[in-house]
Amino acid sequence: MIKKIKGIIVSTTPFKETSKILNVLTEDGKIVSMMARGVKQVKNVLRSKTNNFTYGYFYTYYKEDKLSTLTNVDIINDFENIKNDLELISYLNYLVELSEKVAKQTTSNNIFDLLITALEKINDGFDPIIIKNILEIKFLDYLGLKLNLDNCNNCGSNKDIVTISSSLGGFICKNCNVENHTTNLKTIKMIRNYYYVNLSSISKLNISDDVKLEIDKFLDEMYEDYSGLYIKSKKFLKNIVNLN
């Protein structure tokens, strides 16, 4: 039976001389592996459509829990603007690798939608650091690291929130802030917005660099210290972010 599957290639594994296995994150949140026969041959029509990050419809002879065989690909979005920009490519690498790892930790199908929307936004010219951070903060829920961004994570008060702490799991109020950390109040407000915003409805972003970088640093700590995920492409991306 031929099945049409909407998805994005998150990684590929070479197979014999001319073939490869595609690992596709599908719209229902699964990672489906497909055998793409002969696609490494120069004249193969699917050659350019079976690389990492191809987002489209994959037509396969589908076998439940077995390797499906790819027969055709229709591209939905080529993310051309991202692929023409070396800096944005490193965001693409990172976000796709992160999404693949998060998808393996959850049965939710939200990971696919969040990833695709994030890539569309970056492709449309939105600030990649902000989009990356929105995705990262939303993904925490699926990693069992849900933050408390409504009130103090220690006493429950919703007054005088002065800082956010990765080790304390969210917002901390003035009374509970024994270590006397302070965070820019705009950062506190904005990080909450990142968590609750509907990514697809974003039409304008106007966030100062210091707030942006403070949020990025916080999320970096969350992932480094608590997620248990190792994202190979992150180091490279960090070097790029630090150059700016």
Site residues for Zn ion per CB under 5 A: 152, 154-155, 157, 173, 176
Q: What are phi and psi of 122, to 5 degrees?
A: -65, -40
Residue with Cβ nearer Zn ion (68 or 154): 154
3-class SS of residue 14: strand
Q: Please, which residues bridge with residue 19 across strands?
A: 15
Shortest distance in whole angstroms from residue 8 CB to Zn ion:
42
* Residue 153 CB, nearest approach to Zn ion (Å): 8
**Residue 123 or 154: which CB sits closer to Zn ion?**
154
Q: How far is the CB of 149 from Zn ion (least distance, A)?
A: 14
Task: Count CB-CB contacts under 10 A for residue 129.
Answer: 20
Minimum Å distance from CB 227 to Zn ion? 25
Nearest residue (CB) to Zn ion, 129 versus 152: 152
E strand residue ranges, the chain: 2-15, 19-26, 31-36, 55-61, 68-77, 161-165, 170-173
In angstroms, the CA 210 to CA 194 distance is: 15
Q: Which helix (H) or strand (E) holds 161?
A: strand 161-165
C-alpha 191/C-alpha 109 separation (Å) is 24
For residue 76, give both structure tokens: 């939905």
Q: Which is nearer to Zn ion, 22 or 173 (CB)?
A: 173
| Residue 99 vs 153, nearer CB to Zn ion | 153
* Contact by Cβ (8 Å): 91, 30: no
Shortest distance in whole angstroms from residue 102 CB to Zn ion: 30
User: Smaller CB distance to Zn ion: residue 85 or 150?
Assistant: 150
End-to-end Cα spacing for the chain: 50
The per-residue b/e assignment along 45-66, b for 16 or more CB within 10 angstroms, e otherwise, is ebeebbeebbbbebbbebeeee
